[in-house]
Amino acid sequence: MKKSIGILGGMGPLATADLFRKIVLLTGAACDNDHIRIYIDDNASIPDRTAAILHGGPDPLPAMTDSLRKLEACGADCLIMPCNTAHYFLPHLQALTAIPFLSMLEATARACREKFPGKAAAVLATQGTLSAGLYQDALSGEQVPFLVPGGAEQEALMRVIYGGVKAGRPPESYRADMEMVLDRLAAQGADYFILGCTELPLAASLLGLSVPTVDPTSELARAAIRFCGYPVNPAAIL
């Protein structure tokens, strides 16, 4: 029996739309009826996850739990979140429901091991994700070598994410920051880059970057498609 997806979204809205688009494009479907039923709660009122982790900002769990309950009521068979930093709260959310959450972090770590065996990944992510060690733990579990940005690079990435993509600024306003981060990490031995914030695949696309990357949004989309019993389109180009 085919299953459905619930997207706990709004973190942010553009990243949620990107995940939905990638699920549709990556599903092996010959017509409308071959696609997956998807429920989306685009709850943009969820408080910022990085601020909660690093600075004691408003707790996002109540709003995330509200979204969870709405997706339960819709009848979703699995739950996914288009926000890497939000995975800090995934164990708390999973304890509240019998519906399985699929982890973007785990899907990405598996993809790194399979696509770049023995190569070193650079983790591009928010300060909240990096501080919590979310990708460090997931990559270590798959024995993937990695390195993380230093303080100046983390600050530049936050400008790309928050001052650039989330703010709707044109890509040229954050090109210098993004290229600086890539250049410095490549010089330190990075072979490829994990776009470990859901705004970063959007930034990479808008900037036309040509460096080797792993897109966690696409990897989560593939994991959800497989979980629901549908084929992944091997010819899809994202």
Q: Which of 31, 112, 197, 228 is catalytic?
A: 197
- Do 194 and 172 touch, CB atoms closer than 8 A? no
Determine how many CB atoms are found less than 10 A away from the CB of residue 92: 11
Contacts of 237 (CB under 8 A, 6+ apart): none
Q: Is 31 a catalytic residue?
A: no
Q: Is 197 a catalytic residue?
A: yes
Question: What CA–CA distances, in Å, run from 46 to 51, 90, 201?
Answer: 12, 14, 21
Q: Which of 31, 78, 83, 228 is catalytic?
A: 83
Q: How many residues does the chain have?
A: 238
190-204 burial code (b ≥16 CB/10 A, e <16): bebbbbbbbbbbbbb
Name the residues annotated as catalytic. Answer: 83, 197
